[in-house]
Amino acid sequence: MNNDIESESVKAAQYAVERAIKSGCSAARSSLSISTQNSFAVRDGELDRLHGSTGSSLFIQVFINDRYGAYSTNRFDKRELESFISNAIEATKYIEKDICRGLPEKELCYRNDRPPLVQHDSRLFELSAEEMKNIAFTSADEILGSDKRLISVNCEFSGSLDFSYMTDSQGFEGASKQSLYSLSAECSVRGAGEARPEAWWYEASMFFEQLKRDGVAKMALKRATDKLSPKKMKSGRYTMVVENSVSNRLISPIISALNGASIQQNNSFLKNSLGKRLFSDKMIIFDDAINPSAMGARYFDSEGIATNPSSIIQNGRVEKYFINSYYSKKMGIPATIEGPSVPIMRPFDNIELTLKEIVYNCGNGILVTGFNGGNTNSSSGDFSFGIEGFYFENGEILHPVKEMNITGNLIELWNNLLYTGSDARDVSRWMIPSLAFEGVSFSGI
């Protein structure tokens, strides 16, 4: 993005804090976000969609004698900002006092004392429309005409550059730049019958040259054709293997339950669990927060509190709650961080296992390659998810399964963890590998 836009917008963010304080706020924070994105999508060998944009927003939080309000605008003109902030302050004065509202302790905030995180590749500005289109076309060419069952293939190349900046009235100032390049493919196929199963695949990288481009469409096509001719299965308890592309679905409700808001609101099945061993001793989750090569690594959270590498769950024992400054004061416990930056799941005893090895080790069971809906009860940990995947026997995939749900309780599920793979994909912020659980309740026919 344009450096002039960046610097002008940063001035607007700084001005917002100054103006808020001059107008009577006891404290204020402003957070700026600017994002530039270009994408080109190709459907069935023809350019289908292009999208280009730069968007921005300024998020202003004001604290007026224990009263709190949060406001945002994408209008950065000085006079409009003045009016916006005045209105925000007036509105906040009507809110009831909450003595827990305020900026975090200054000592907890990041002090710009680490080497810059290199997460930004501005190559997007140099790429021509033709080059970006061609990446999508080349991906689609991998499979066009290769399989008569293929009905439709969509390939999309996307690049984005995000700049964020934050400042507050106690002197905190921090900025970050991240880029993301991705290539995705989605295929629909048709075999016998009416169904047209679809499947997708994607690769992503912070750096253009590191984006894996080969094999994306081929993988999407393979995953789609593998789904043809599914069979309904009998209800029962099966060993469940969950592929690395979707395994974070089983972690996210746990991370949510460790959040201060859920705990303080008595809406977490993990309240009163800090320091306790609730899960299998094979369960190890770590926040690799400042690993410079990890997508999502950051030096500070949305309050400016410094991030650090830390254990979340160690050998089944809960080691971290995510407590921001507000819930810290509400509950009278120390603030930690608002949430994980790069949650990674590590194999037990450092045993390295691929998905194929896990399936082989499990012998018989169901390999889950996708979740279809479902939810978790945040108070109890009870869950029920629709799944798609494959039945396997003696370590060999036999056939796709159709219309099945898994149901149970997350604490029980994670106590039945059999294997943690070493195959986490590096295409997203969460790095969760393939997993295996025993005795999972599947409902079918």
Partner 1 sequence: MNNTERLLNFFGVTTEDLRKIIDKALSSGGTYADLFFEYTVANEMALRDGEVNSAGSHIDYGMGVRVLSNERTGYAYTEITSTDAMMRAALTASGIASGSIKSSTPVEIKNIPYKNRYPIEIEWLKATVSSKIPFLNYLNTRIFESDRRVNKVLARVSDSQTEVLFFNSLGEIYSDVRPMASLTATCIMEENGRVENASSSRSFRMGAEFLSMKVVEQVADEAVDRCKILFDAIQPKGGEMPVVMGAGSSGILLHEAIGHAFEADFNRQNISIFSDKLGKKICRDEISVVDDGTISFNRGSVNIDDEGVVGQKTYMVKDGVLNSYLHDRISAEYYKTSPTGNGRRESFRFMPLPRMRATYMESGKSRESDIIGSVKKGIYVDNFSNGQVQIGAGDFTFYVKSGWLIENGKLTQPIKDINIIGNGPEALANIVAVGDNLKIDDGTWTCGKEQYCPVSCGMPSVLVSSLTVGGI
Residues recorded for the chain: 445
- Contact assessment for residue 387 and residue 370, using Cβ atoms and an 8 Å cutoff: yes
Minimal distance, residue 20 CB to partner 1, in Å: 14
Minimal distance, residue 111 CB to partner 1, in Å: 29
* Tokens of residue 43, six digits: 């459907």
**4 in contact with partner 1 (CB under 8 A):** no
User: Which position among 7, 11, 45, 54 is part of the footprint of partner 1 (CB under 8 A)?
Assistant: 54
What CA–CA distance (Å, rounded) separates 48 from 74?
30
Residues within window 66-125 making contact with partner 1, judged by CB under 8 A: 67-75, 84, 87-88, 91-92, 94-98, 101
Contacts of 58 (CB under 8 A, 6+ apart): 9, 12, 13, 16, 30, 31, 32, 33, 72, 73, 74, 76, 81
Of 279 and 442, the one with the shorter C-beta distance to partner 1 is 442
Of 347 and 370, the one with the shorter C-beta distance to partner 1 is 370
> Of 117-125, 206-214, 377-385, 419-427, which part binds partner 1 (CB under 8 A)?
377-385
Of 134 and 315, the one with the shorter C-beta distance to partner 1 is 134
**407 in contact with partner 1 (CB under 8 A):** yes
**444 in contact with partner 1 (CB under 8 A):** yes
Residues within window 145-204 making contact with partner 1, judged by CB under 8 A: 151-152, 188, 194-198
User: Which position among 7, 8, 50, 116 is part of the footprint of partner 1 (CB under 8 A)?
Assistant: 50
Residues within window 329-368 making contact with partner 1, judged by CB under 8 A: 330
Q: Among candidates 139, 184, 140, which has minimal Cα distance to 158?
A: 184
Of 208 and 371, the one with the shorter C-beta distance to partner 1 is 371
Mask of contacts with partner 1, 124-143, x by CB under 8 A?
-----x--------------
What CA–CA distance (Å, rounded) separates 119 from 177?
6
* Tokens of residue 168, six digits: 């507050």
What CA–CA distance (Å, rounded) separates 48 from 127?
19
User: Which position among 15, 18, 23, 43 is part of the footprint of partner 1 (CB under 8 A)?
Assistant: 43
What CA–CA distance (Å, rounded) separates 431 from 297?
12
* Tokens of residue 200, six digits: 């997708």
* Tokens of residue 206, six digits: 């912070």
